[in-house]
Chains A and B, each alone.
Chain A
Amino acid sequence: DGGITQSPKYLFRKEGQNVTLSCEQNLNHDAMYWYRQDPGQGLRLIYYSQIVNDFQKGDIAEGYSVSREKKESFPLTVTSAQKNPTAFYLCASSIAGALRGYTFGSGTRLTVV
C-alpha cells in the first residue's frame, strides 16, 4: 500500500544537538511539506518542496534545514539554532496543485532536554 512514513515516532535529544527527522513517501507525489504543531495549536509550515532539488521556506523556517535529493524523501534537520524545538512534527505530500489535499505521515514527537 502507498503511504508516507515518518520515523521515529518519538525522539529525545539533548539541547544543542542537531537532529534529523525522516520522511519517506511511495505515493509518487511531487510535493512534500513539513509542519510543526505545538500542544493544542494548529499547523505551521516550516519548509516545502514542489520538485526534487528545490525547496522553499515556510512561515517558521528559522533553525531548520531540509534537502530534497530524491522524490521519495524529504528529511528535516532541527538545528541547535532552533530556540524551542520541542514539538510534534508532521510531514505531508501531495500531487501538483494540492486540489486533492495532502497525505500526512503519523508524525514525530521531538523532545529536547
Chain B
Amino acid sequence: GQQLNQSPQSMFIQEGEDVSMNCTSSSIFNTWLWYKQDPGEGPVLLIALYKAGELTSNGRLTAQFGITRKDSFLNISASIPSDVGIYFCAGPQMRGATNKLIFGTGTLLAVQP
C-alpha cells in the first residue's frame, strides 16, 4: 500500500536556525498536507498543497508540492522555541476508501533557546 517516509526523524537546532524536512512516497499523491502536533495535543493543519510544483507559505513556513507528485518539502525559517513539536505530512489514499489519509512517520523538532 501507499506509504509516506519522512526525514529526518528528529532535529535538534538552535533558535534562529532554518529547518528543512521532507516527505517521500513510492506512489503519486494528488494532495499533500502538513500538520504540526504540539506536545500533548492533537495535530493541527499548517499547509495544504493541491497542485504539482505549488509553493505555499504560511508565515515562516513554506511548503512545496514536488513536481513528480511523489514528494513534498516543508521549510521553517528563523525557528523559535514554540516551533517545537512533531511535524507530519499526509495525503489522501488513492485507492479504496478515499476518505482515508496516509500519514508520514513524523519529524520531531526540538529548538534550543
What residues make up the interface of A, taking CB atoms closer than 8 Å to B?
A: 6, 31, 33, 40-43, 45, 48, 50, 56, 88, 90, 92, 94, 96-107, 109
Residue of A nearest to B50 (CB): A99
Chain B contact residues: helix, strand, loop or mixed: loop
Please indicate which of the listed interface residues B40, B48, B99 has the most CB atoms of chain A within 10 Å of its own CB: B99
What residues make up the interface of B, taking CB atoms closer than 8 Å to A?
A: 31, 33, 35, 40-45, 48, 50, 88, 90, 92, 97-101, 103-106, 108
**Residues of chain A contacted by B106 (CB below 8 angstroms):** 41-42
Q: A42-B88, A43-B88, A109-B40 are in contact. Are A101 and B99 (CB under 8 A)?
A: no
Q: Given B42, B45, B105, which contacts A42 in the complex, CB threshold below 8 Å? A: B105
CB contacts between A and B, total, < 8 Å: 59
**Residues of chain B contacted by A43 (CB below 8 angstroms):** 43, 88, 103
Q: Are B44 and A97 in contact (CB under 8 A)?
A: no
A50 vs B4: C-alpha distance in the bound complex, in angstroms?
Answer: 23
Q: Are A98 and B92 in contact (CB under 8 A)?
A: yes
**Residues of chain B contacted by A98 (CB below 8 angstroms):** 92, 98-101
Q: Are B48 and A101 in contact (CB under 8 A)?
A: yes
